[in-house]
Amino acid sequence: MMAEKKLWSFAVTIYQRDGVAPACLDLQEQCQIDVPLMLCAVFACLEGKDISDADLTQLHNLASPWQGDIVQSLRRIRTQLKTGPHPAPNAVTEDLRNKIKAAELTAEKIQLEMMQAWANRLAAIDIVDDLPALPAIIDIITRIVAASSKAKITQIQHDHIRLIADAACQIKDHKTEIIQP
């Protein structure tokens, strides 16, 4: 698989795991996290990369213009079409909403491809047993959520973080399950 597609394949694979999509969406809505950014950091951790807070800031600075101006704009329009304005919602506007949803997904793919280059440049660390410890993955997700959230992380959000981290470790253990583009 081409190196620039590995992050996208990982993101698609983990997002399809039981409970991961709702957990990511809840963290996105409740904590204002950038899901592609979080998945990039998890992927980099699984690839044995050392990710400092400065690295996370650099990743945020790289991704936030595209995420804010393009991805979130498409998401706002798609979400708004669920309830209005008139003539939405109806069959015609639902078709438009689905096209915007596809465009939003394409925009997230572009963001992930941009972040893949960032992940490739990170320094590698020595990993015991060829797998970062689950606590390291939980830590990276928790740091991202804490940096994005305006409130204390709730128990439900900690549960989401754990679920996503568990799914990531399972994917790393079963590399053949990663979806090929």
Identify whether the C-beta of residue 24 lies closer than 8 Å to the C-beta of residue 164: yes
pLDDT of residue 177: 47
pLDDT of residue 133: 78
Domain span at 64: 3-177
Average pLDDT value for the chain: 90
- Mean pLDDT of each 10-residue bin along the chain, 181 residues long: 72 96 97 96 91 95 97 96 93 95 97 94 71 84 95 97 96 55 41
pLDDT of residue 124: 84
If one counts the domains in the chain, the total is 1
Rounded to whole angstroms, how far apart are CA atoms 111 and 65? 10
